[in-house]
Amino acid sequence: MLLRNLNPAAGLCNGTRLIVKRPHDNLLGCEILTGEKKGDRVFIPQISCTTEGRFPFILSRRQFSVKPCYSMTINKSQVQALDYVGIDLMGEVFSHGQLYVAFSRVRPWDYVKVFVKPWTRCGMERSAK
């Protein structure tokens, strides 16, 4: 998954899912998996990051702005059409709008799986005396 906006016109936006097809020393040859540019082949360059002014020395690193994506947040899934969706509701969602987004990423409903906490009757059980 791409971690920053590199070229929105080419479909390279924060959250875009990619398959790395050809890794090279300074760039990655990738295929876009989602959105209008699905199937397009793109190159992701290595980016230099440096610190300036905060320390008496300069830190510099080079990295690719991608990470493995086995899951994503509901916010990252916006504007993406997915083939299969698993929704983890073990914790609460921030708002009902997020829940709508999570459920609307895939059709048909047969390809949506929801994981919820086991239901209990808190305070509803009568104790025998």
Higher pLDDT, 106 or 43: 43
Termini Cα distance of the chain: 58
Report whether 15 contacts 72 (CB < 8 A): yes
pLDDT tens, position by position, 59-88: 888 999 999 887 777 777 777 777 888 888
* pLDDT(126) > 70: no
Residues whose CB is less than 8 angstroms from the CB of residue 3 and which lie 6 or more positions away in sequence, other chains included: 14, 65, 66, 67
Whole-angstrom distance, CA of residue 44 vs CA of residue 23: 10
Q: What is the pLDDT of residues 9-63, one digit of tens each?
A: 998 988 888 999 999 999 999 999 887 899 999 999 999 888 877 788 888 889 9
